[in-house]
Chains A and B, each alone.
Chain A
Amino acid sequence: MQLQRALTPGNKTDFLVEAAQTVSGLLLVGFLWTHMLFVASILLGIQAFDALAHFMERFRLLDLAVIFIILTVATHVGAVLRRIPGRWQEQKIVWKHAAIIRHPDTWSWLFQAVTGSAMLLLIIIHVFVVVYVGIDATLSADRVHSWMLGFYIVLLFLAEYHASVGLYRTLVKWGFVKRHSLKRVLTVITVCTIGLGLLSLWAFYSLGG
Chain B
Amino acid sequence: MSQRQLTFHIFRYNPEEPDAKPRTQSYVLPEEPGMTLFIALNKIREEQDPTLKFDFVCRAGICGSCGMLINGKPTLACKTLTKDLPDRISLMPLPVFQLLGDLSVDTGTWFRHVSLRTEAWVHTEKRFDPMAEEERMSNDTALAIYEAERCIECGCCIGGCATANIKPGFIGAAGVNRVARFMVDPRDERSDQQYFDVVGSEDGIFGCIGLMACDDNCPIGIPLQGQLAYVRRKMAVAGWKR
Cβ of B122 < 8 Å from any Cβ of A? no
In the bound complex, do residue A97 and residue B229 qualify as a contact, i.e. CB atoms below 8 Å apart?
no
A98 at the interface (CB under 8 A from B): yes
* B 35-76 contacts with A by CB, 8 A: 69, 71-74
Q: Is the CB of B216 within 8 A of A85?
A: no
Instruction: Decide: A101 and B210 in contact? CB cutoff 8 A.
Output: no
For the A-B complex, the count of residue pairs with Cβ-Cβ distances under 8 Å equals 95
Q: Mark A165-208, 1 if CB is under 8 A from B, else 0.
A: 00001101111100100000000000000000000000000000
What total of chain A residues lie within 8 Å of the partner, measured CB to CB? Answer: 33
9-residue interface stretch from A15-23, A48-56, A69-77, A146-154: A15-23
Interface class of chain B by DSSP: helix
Asked if A101 meets B225 with Cβ closer than 8 Å, knowing A12-B239, A109-B211, A179-B212, the reply is no
| Shortest Cβ distance from residue A68 to the other chain B in the assembled complex, whole angstroms | 24
**Residues of chain B having any CB pair with chain A under 8 Å:** 69, 71-74, 92, 95, 160, 162, 165-166, 196-197, 200-202, 206-213, 215-217, 225-226, 228-230, 232-233, 235-236, 239-240, 242
Say yes or no: B73 contacts A101, CB within 8 Å: yes
| Minimum CB–CB distance for A4 against chain B, Å | 13
Which chain B residues lie closer than 8 Å to A44 at the CB level? none
B74 to chain A, nearest CB (A): 7
B232 touches A101 (CB 8 A): no
The contact of B229 among A12, A15, A174, by CB within 8 Å, is A174
**A105 to chain B: which residues have CB within 8 Å?**
211-213, 216
Q: How far is the CB of A104 from chain B (nearest CB, A)?
A: 9
- Determine whether the beta carbon of A169 is less than 8 Å from that of B209: yes
- Is A37 interfacial (CB 8 A cutoff)? no
Distance between Cα atoms of A2 and B206 in the complex (Å): 22
| A94 and B165 contacting across the interface, CB-CB below 8 Å | yes
A124 to B69, CA, bound (A): 42
Given contacts A14-B200, A98-B162, contact A106 B211 (CB under 8 A): yes
* A16 contact set on B, CB distance < 8 A: 239
Measured in the bound complex, the distance between the Cα atoms of B206 and A30 in whole Å is 24
List chain A positions with a Cβ less than 8 A from chain B. Answer: 9-12, 14-19, 82-83, 85, 90, 93-94, 97-98, 100-103, 105-106, 109, 169-170, 172-176, 179
Which 9 A-B pairs give the minimum distances between C-beta atoms? A175-B229, A15-B239, A173-B210, A10-B197, A102-B72, A169-B210, A18-B206, A90-B166, A14-B201
Closest B residue to A16 by CB, please name it.
B239
Asked whether, in the complex, the Cβ of B165 is within 8 Å of the Cβ of A103, the reply is no
Q: Are A172 and B225 in contact (CB under 8 A)?
A: yes
Q: Given known contacts A173-B228, A174-B233, is B208 in contact with A101 (CB within 8 Å)?
A: no
Q: Which of B166, B206, B228 contacts A15 (CB 8 A)?
A: B206
Q: Are B206 and A14 in contact (CB under 8 A)?
A: yes
B222 smallest CB distance to A (angstroms): 14
Residues from chain B with Cβ under 8 Å of A94 in the complex: 162, 165-166
Contact partner of B74 (CB less than 8 A), chosen from A15, A101, A109, is A101
The residues of B that contact A173 with a CB separation of less than 8 Å are 208-210, 228-229, 232
B217 / chain A contacts, CB cutoff of 8 Å: 103
Residues in chain B near residue A12, CB distance under 8 A: 196, 200, 239, 242
